[in-house]
Amino acid sequence: MASIMLPWGRGRTQRTETFLRATVTTRLAKSPPIGGNPIVTTPPETPAPRPVRSDGTSLAAGWQFVACALAIAAIVAAADLGWLRPISVWVHSIPLGDKLVHAFAMGLLCWLADRAIPSRPVATHCSWLRWTPAIVTLVVLGEEVSQRWIPGRSFDLGDITADLVGIGVALWFRAQSH
């Protein structure tokens, strides 16, 4: 390669040549090859592997489910103790606000549980219904029915319906992704 003399004097020729060589090499590595023959090849960037369990499920999905389950349990406990009355009044002031909260929370819980805990179908003829969402549904129904005996809480079939709609939407999303 010939030296390139720049107007600012001698002694910088070697550094200038090194700089230009590095610049040309970098630009050639970033540009698409001409005629199918790559001049400079660079290894493809690979993303860092995600930690997974032996069954192939993500560890992050497990922590997301645990966090969501703990948050919902804390909200239920706070509501049972009467600590959420101001928020409850505000949610009930929105048309169908309570039902939307029920559907969203239980749907999210079911979706995260289904991602985090691998399970088999309940029966061979209905592969869309797995054990994990079925157990979440039973726990949710048990929590709603238990409100009959908790002072300050009320049993409402509309809440159960909203919970089941949320769980149904979560199952629909799961079916669409598989």
Q: Is the dihedral of CA 10, 15, 16, 18 positive or negative?
A: positive
Segment (H or E) for 162: helix 157-177
Report how many helices (DSSP H) and strands (DSSP E) the chain contains, helices first.
6, 2
Q: What is the pLDDT of residue 166?
A: 94
Q: Is 135 part of a structural domain of the chain?
A: yes
Q: What is the pLDDT of residues 116-161, one digit of tens each?
A: 777 777 666 666 667 788 888 998 899 889 888 888 778 889 999 9
Q: Where are the beta strands (DSSP E) in the chain?
A: 121-123, 126-130
Q: How far is CA 61 from CA 51, 54, 88, 117, 124, in A?
A: 11, 14, 30, 9, 26
> Helices 85-93 and 97-116, interaxial angle, to 10°?
110
Instruction: Clarify whether residues 39 and 70 are in a common domain.
Output: no
Note whether residue 53 is domain-resident.
Answer: no
Assess whether pLDDT exceeds 80 at residue 91: yes
> What tokens appear for 53 in the block?
């369990």
Assess if residue 50 is contained within a domain. no
3-state secondary structure of 133: helix
Residue 136 and residue 170 in contact, taking contact as beta carbons nearer than 8 Å: no
The helix/strand/coil state of 50 is coil
Same domain, 162 and 119: yes
Three-class DSSP category at 163: helix
Boundaries of domain holding 19: 1-45
pTM: 0.58
115 and 75 share a domain?
A: yes
Domain count for the chain: 2
